[in-house]
Every structure is written in C-alpha cells, then in structure tokens.
C-alpha cells in the first residue's frame, strides 16, 4: 500500500491519527459512500477586521456520518489526501462555497475562503477545474480566497508559484495558511504571490502573557507589513488575545471568541443578531 501511494504523498504533512490499517480501510470505504451520498457539509467561520466587522468567512468541511455524527476534517482530511479522495471532496467544497457566496454577500460577507490541499493543487486539471467553477458561479475578483499551506512549496516550488500566479490572474486571492508551522524557508516570502498570511493559532495562544508567542507574532506582523501582505490571526479565543493583536495592528482575526464555524443558516442568524 505504502509503495503504491508512492513518493508523491504527503503523509508527513499532517500527523496521521493513530488509526489501524483496518480502521483506515473502513474509513476509506465509508468516505467513498459519503461522497456518493453527499454526507459532507460546509460550515463557515467568520473572519473579522480589527474594527470587528465580518469581512470574510472560511469554508470548513464536516462529514455528517450517519452513526457517528459530525466528524472533524482533522480526522478524515489526512486520509482523504493519501487516498486521493480529497480531490472530489475539495472540488465539492469549492462549489458549495461558491453556491453559498451570494447568500453570504446579502448579509455583508464579501469574501469566502476555501482550503486547498497540496494533492488538489498539483493535479493537472486543477486550474481548469477552479476556472470552471468560478466562471459557472460568476465569482468576481476578490470574492474567493485560496488557502494554501507553505508545505505546498516543498514538492515543486516553481510549479506551485506558477499555479498561485495563475489563480491570482483569475482574481483569486492567496492566503498562506498555518503560517509558521510548515517546513518551507522564509526566503520564499519574497516571491510567493500571497496577499495574506494566516498566523497559526499556536502563536496566538496566550499571546498577551506568553512573550515568545508575542515576539513571533509581532515579527510576522512587521515582516508582512513590509512585504505588503495582510495578516489573519487564527484561533483567537480571548478578549486579551484580541486586544493584544489589535494593539499591534493585526489586520484580521478569526476564532471562537468571535464565532465558531457554523452551518450557513446559523451563521446568517448570527450575522443578523450581531
Ligand atoms: P485550518 O484551515 O487552519 O482551519 C482552522 C481550524 O481552526 C478549523 O478547524 C477551525 O474550526 C479551528 N478554529 C477556529 N477558531 C478556533 C479557536 O478559536 N480555537 C481553536 N482551538 N480552534 C479554532 P477544523 O474546521 O476542524 O479544520 C481543521 C483543518 O482541516 C483546517 O485547518 C484545514 O487544514 C482542514 N480543512 C478543513 N476543511 C477543509 C477543506 O475543505 N479542504 C481541505 N483541503 N482541508 C480542509
Ligand atoms: Mg484554513
Ligand atoms: Mg489555518
Ligand atoms: Mg490550522
């Protein structure tokens, strides 16, 4: 199995849950069923600016398992990446996000952010398929953000940089997700066509009284500003963390403090009562 999957897999990117082989097989078969039966749902988590206005929403997939209830992407995305099922799931998420965008826009959320895995990113038909979805749904420049982790660069920096530029040519913004937790070197920041850096929540946690996290985050904020990129802080859970980030001119924030990821109807409810 490992051999067949070959060297083009990303096993080392996401620490695999400790699932046994049998369990993985079961999950894989169930995922196939889930794709056929459309058991996936997209939740949305608001992204706010430093004045508290909701400017975007991140699409986060959930698997509504018939017996187990909602399963977190942290549990099935790594496996879906290894089996290639992420391609189908990912495309569906992109389509759903584009279908939902008009509703979000009606409620003042102008932009939707979608996660792309390296596995999708390197497919020969990736750009074509994104282009098709964007065209079909009349997505305008600036309305869609592609979230990509820095690890995407490891496999082939030239190809990934070209793909990112082409996404930008389509009017799609690039956000570097989980910034600071991957394996890419800082030198790529000079050439990567990203408009946003999403600083991982491990650096945001307790930022107001963890001087190391604070130093790293302030460094990222300074660097991003010099490079003309905006910063989104992930995983903001407390008012102290938020206030610290605002004080250091962090552009955008996302986290449980503001809102958890919600089904679209609940998000709209939340937006209406905000
Ligand atoms: P991510 O893209 O970095 O998304 C942020 C994760 O942090 C989400 O977890 C979100 O629910 C969680 N989060 C947000 N605010 C807070 C907070 O204040 N505290 C804490 N502790 N967590 C917070 P989620 O939804 O479980 O997704 C996990 C990861 O799964 C995502 O990380 C992303 O890498 C991946 N993922 C989710 N949906 C998709 C998808 O459609 N395609 C791909 N390729 N990956 C996806
Ligand atoms: Mg993300
Ligand atoms: Mg992230
Ligand atoms: Mg993350």
- Tell me the pLDDT tens digit for each residue of 150-179: 889 988 999 999 999 999 999 999 999 999
Does ligand 1 lie within 6 Å of residue 96's CB atom? no
pLDDT score, position 17? 53
Does ligand 1 lie within 6 Å of residue 178's CB atom? yes
- The tokens for 55 are 């400017």
pLDDT higher than threshold 90 for residue 211: yes
Does ligand 1 lie within 6 Å of residue 73's CB atom? yes
pLDDT band for position 10 (cuts 50, 70, 90): very low
Does ligand 1 lie within 6 Å of residue 79's CB atom? no
Place of tokens 């570097």: 176
- The tokens for 160 are 């990934």
CA of 234 to the centre of ligand 4 (A): 8
pLDDT score, position 241? 98
CA of 135 to the centre of ligand 1 (A): 27
Stretch 20-31: mean pLDDT: 86
**Which residues fall within 8 angstroms of residue 126, CB to CB, at 6 or more apart?**
120, 163
Query: How many whole angstroms from its chain centre is CA 242?
Result: 21
pLDDT score, position 95? 98
pLDDT digit string (tens) for 33-51?
999 999 999 999 999 999 9
Tell whether ipTM is more than 0.95. Answer: yes
For ligand 1, atom 20: residue with the closest CA: 235
For ligand 1, atom 12: residue with the closest CA: 235
Question: Which region among 10-14, 112-116, 120-124, 257-261 has the lowest average model confidence (pLDDT)?
Answer: 10-14
**DSSP designation for 140:** P
Query: How many whole angstroms from its chain centre is CA 83?
Result: 20
Q: Which of 94, 87, 107 is nearest to 139 (CA)?
A: 94
- The tokens for 214 are 């604070």
For ligand 1, atom 2: residue with the closest CA: 115
Share of the chain above pLDDT 90, in %: 81
Share of the chain above pLDDT 70, in %: 93
pLDDT band for position 26 (cuts 50, 70, 90): confident
> Residue 268 and residue 274: Cα distance in Å, rounded?
10
pTM: 0.93
Does ligand 1 lie within 6 Å of residue 160's CB atom? no
Q: Which of 119, 134, 108 is nearest to 48 (CA)?
A: 108
Average pLDDT, whole number, for the chain? Answer: 91
CA of 13 to the centre of ligand 4 (A): 12
> Residue 173 and residue 143: Cα distance in Å, rounded?
8
- The tokens for 141 are 């420049």
> Residue 236 and residue 255: Cα distance in Å, rounded?
4
For ligand 1, atom 27: residue with the closest CA: 73
pLDDT higher than threshold 70 for residue 5: no
């Amino acid at each position: 199995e490992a051999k067949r999957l070959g060297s083009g897999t990303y096993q080392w990117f996401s620490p695999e849950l400790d699932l046994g082989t049998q369990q993985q097989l079961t999950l894989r078969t169930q995922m196939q069923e889930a794709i056929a039966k459309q058991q996936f749902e997209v939740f949305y988590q608001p992204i706010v600016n430093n004045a508290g206005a909701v400017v975007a929403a991140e699409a986060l997939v959930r698997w509504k398992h018939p017996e187990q209830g909602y399963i977190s992407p942290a549990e099935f995305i790594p496996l879906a990446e290894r089996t290639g099922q992420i391609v189908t799931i990912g495309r569906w998420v992109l389509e759903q996000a584009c279908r939902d965008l008009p509703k979000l826009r009606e409620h003042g959320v102008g932009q939707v952010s979608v996660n792309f895995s390296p596995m999708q990113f390197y497919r020969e038909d990736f750009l074509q398929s994104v282009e098709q979805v964007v065209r079909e749904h009349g997505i305008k420049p600036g309305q869609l953000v592609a979230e990509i982790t820095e690890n995407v660069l490891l496999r082939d920096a030239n190809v990934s940089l070209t793909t990112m530029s082409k996404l930008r040519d389509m009017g799609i913004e690039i956000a570097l997700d989980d910034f600071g937790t991957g394996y890419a070197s800082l030198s790529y920041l000079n050439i990567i066509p990203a408009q946003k850096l999403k600083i991982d929540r491990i650096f945001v946690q307790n930022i107001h009284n963890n001087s190391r996290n604070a130093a790293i985050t302030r460094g990222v904020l300074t660097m991003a500003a010099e490079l003309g990129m905006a910063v989104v802080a992930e995983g903001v859970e407390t008012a102290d963390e938020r206030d610290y980030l605002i004080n250091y001119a962090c552009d955008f924030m996302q986290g449980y403090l503001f809102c958890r990821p919600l089904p679209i109807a609940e998000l709209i409810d939340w937006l209406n009562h905000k």
